[in-house]
Amino acid sequence: MIRFFAEPQNIFSDSIRLGAEDSEHIRVLRLRPDEMFVVCDGNGIDYICRLGGRGDGTVAEITGKNQSAGEPDIKCKMYMAYSKGDRLDYAVQKSVELGANEIILFESGRCVAVPRDIPKKITRLQKIALETAKQCNRGIIPKVSPAGSFDSMTSDAIKSAGLAMLLYEYEDHLHIKKVLEQYFSPQREREYFKVNSISVITGPEGGFDLHEVDQAQSKNIQIVSLGSRILRSETAPIVALSAIMFHTGNL
């Protein structure tokens, strides 16, 4: 079914007031009064609706509600270094598709390009997250925001999750598979997983400086490998997130 998001203050006991953009979308789609669609509150609850009021797309009449089926039961916070061109657009879009809970952008020493207007870039990426969440049956719209510095980013990563990992192409001992099997053994029921939240830090086109890796490791962030092949900056977060969702039964 077609999916929209609404602010909680616009959701009432029997109806939902839709925003101007969604109302226009409904008019363009020419939805009939008897056609059903979904309006999500952004907190994981889906409302099954049909056109209400005058049928002009401004009001959705609630016929039922349930928990959003598209939300994973593991919270994964993705920390991505700025990259050039549309690489970051791609990484954000696919991370939302795969179930990322939040996306934090940061500047690393080897970043090839950092946006001149970061607020404008964040606004664009947040819109990508919104449109992707609609298309992919998500129950939340993952927030996209900038980190203050590399140091504050790593501090937030370890503070925000039960497990924090930094992907490093020159790590040759600890593979992500080994870490995930330690925390999410297939033999364990989900309620017995060791953690319910993960932070994943991925670097820019040039990779991380060694002092950045050392800084992260000093904060007990695990330095892990994705294998012998060096992945592009937009590919690495997708591979890591796919592995996490697979190991936790969310893929």
Instruction: Round to whole Å and give the CA distance between 205 and 169.
Output: 11
Alpha-carbon span 71 to 183, nearest angstrom: 20
Q: Which string of DSSP letters, residue by residue, matches 162-200?
A: SEEEEE-TT--S-BHHHHHHHHS-TTS-GGG-S-SEEEE
Looking at the chain, the whole-number percentage of residues with pLDDT higher than 90 is: 80
153 and 57 in one domain?
Answer: no
Given 3-state DSSP classes, what are the helix, strand and coil percentages for the chain, each rounded to the nearest 5? 35, 25, 40
pLDDT the model gives residue 189: 61
Q: Are residues 147 and 182 in the same domain?
A: yes
What CATH number has the domain bearing residue 63?
2.40.240.20
Compute the distance between CA of residue 163 and CA of residue 244 in angstroms, rounded to an integer. Answer: 11
Predicted pLDDT at 200: 98
Query: In the prediction, which pLDDT does 186 show?
Result: 62
Give pLDDT tens digits for 99-134: 999 999 999 999 998 999 999 999 999 999 999 999
CATH assignment at residue 112:
3.40.1280.10
| End position of a domain, from candidates 50, 67, 84 | 67
Question: What are the backbone angles phi and psi of residue 47, rounded to the nearest 5°?
Answer: -110, 125
Q: Which domain holds residue 80?
A: 75-247
State the residue for tokens 């797309």: 57
Q: Are residues 113 and 95 in the same domain?
A: yes
Query: How does pLDDT run across 196-211, given as a tens digit for each residue?
Result: 999 999 999 999 999 9
What is the number of domains present in the chain?
2
The SS3 assignment for 249 reads: coil
- CA dist 155 and 125 (Å) reads 23
Closest of 58, 155, 138, 60 to residue 102, by C-alpha: 138
Residue 187: which pLDDT band, with cuts at 50, 70 and 90? low
Q: Do 116 and 232 sit in the same domain of this protein?
A: yes
83 and 176 together in one domain: yes
Same domain for 33 and 7, yes or no, is yes
Q: What is the pLDDT of residue 43?
A: 94
* Banded pLDDT at 35 (limits 50, 70, 90): confident
Q: Are residues 124 and 177 in the same domain?
A: yes
Over residues 21-40, mean pLDDT: 88
Which residue in 207, 203, 195, 211 sits closest to 247, CA to CA?
Answer: 195
67, 87, 110: which is the final residue of a domain?
67
pLDDT of residue 52: 81
Which residues are CB-contacts of 12 (< 8 A; sequence separation ≥ 6)?
none
- The region of weakest confidence among 26-30, 70-74, 163-167 is 26-30
Given a contact cutoff of 8 angstroms between Cβ atoms, the answer to whether 57 and 27 are in contact is yes
Are 190 and 134 found together in one domain? Answer: yes
| DSSP letter (8 states) at residue 32 | -
In Å, the largest CA–CA distance within the chain is: 64
Mean pLDDT on 29-38:
86
Using pLDDT thresholds of 50, 70 and 90, give the confidence band for residue 193: confident
| pLDDT value of position 213 | 97
Task: Indicate if 42 and 85 belong to the same structural domain.
Answer: no
Residues 61 and 105 in one domain: no
Question: Residue 30 has which token pair?
Answer: 């020419």
> Do 106 and 40 share a domain, yes or no?
no
The helix or strand, by DSSP H or E, that contains position 139, with its residue range, turns out to be none
List 49's β-bridge partners, or say none: 37, 62
Q: How far apart are CA 84 and CA 114, in angstroms?
A: 7
The residue from 67, 92, 123 where one domain ends is: 67
> How many CB atoms are closer than 10 A to CB 81?
29
Which is more confidently placed, 51 or 76?
76
The β-bridge relationship of strands 45-51 and 59-67 is: antiparallel
> What are the tens digits of pLDDT across the range 214-241?
999 999 999 999 999 999 999 999 999 9
Whole-number pLDDT of residue 27: 87
| 194 and 238 share one domain | yes
